[in-house]
A and B are shown apart, each in its own frame.
Chain A
Amino acid sequence: DAGVIQSPRHEVTEMGQEVTLRCKPISGHNSLFWYRQTMMRGLELLIYFNNNVPIDDSGMPEDRFSAKMPNASFSTLKIQPSEPRDSAVYFCASSQSSYNSPLHFGNGTRLTVT
């Protein structure tokens, strides 16, 4: 079990640029979650997918954010255009889609927008 794999681990970009974060969930898990963590707001759920279908995107801050899950083994979170306030650690997590299944988190992508 390789765990949830996120790339890149660190991303530094300039305001206005497009940023794409990537996630490979654990094989066999059919729920995938994107979280954002900041000192000010803590851990925020942005969006989650079940069987590759977006179920709840109410946490996506604004239209600059979009997420896709084209297949069971890959998801992306895109920010276009990026802004300094998007600086945060972005986590991807996966689970078996059951209410008592824990989340398995990746090590996150630390995004810095200058």
Chain B
Amino acid sequence: AQSVTQLGSHVSVSEGALVLLRCNYSSSVPPYLFWYVQYPNQGLQLLLKYTSAATLVKGINGFEAEFKKSETSFHLTKPSAHMSDAAEYFCAVSRATNAGKSTFGDGTTLTVKP
């Protein structure tokens, strides 16, 4: 079985501040992890993915995430928030035996204050 827990359904930061969105996973086999972003009235878009090649993964729009096996975490960070980062963010996990079926977290809504 696999699952994802996103800590904090809402995160608010000031423009220019560090963004940290938390994701912990549970998987009985090595996981493949993804972060997606959803802007209003749109579908989810891939931000980045971890597939065991490197523990620090860089994605689009200046985001990155670090896979920490000992902590079963895959937190998403961005050094400096921009107003355009305001959106909902989803962490997802899949595994080799699932042929592409991903399990999504509940999502974290990021608000960026001017």
Contacts and interface: CB of A to CB of B under 8 A. Distances in A.
A41 to B, nearest CB: 9
Interface stretch (B12-20, B62-70, B72-80, B98-106): B98-106
B56 interface: no
A111 to B, nearest CB: 14
B104 A4 contact: no
A99 B104 contact: no
B95 interface: yes
Contacts of B96: 99
Interface residues of B, number: 25
A95 B32 CA distance: 14
Contacts of A56: 101
Interface stretch (A12-20, A72-80, A101-109): A101-109
A43 B90 contact: yes
B89 interface: no
A107 B107 contact: no
Contact of A101 (B43, B100, B106, B107): B100
Contact of A105 (B41, B43, B51, B97): B43
B49 interface: yes
Contact of B42 (A50, A93, A107): A107
B43 A99 contact: no
Contacts of B42: 107-108
Interface of B: 32, 34, 36, 41-46, 49, 51, 90, 92, 94-102, 104, 106-107
Interface of A: 4, 31, 33, 42-43, 45, 48, 50, 55-56, 91, 93, 95-108
Closest 7 CB pairs of A and B: A105-B43, A100-B51, A102-B46, A31-B100, A99-B96, A105-B44, A100-B32
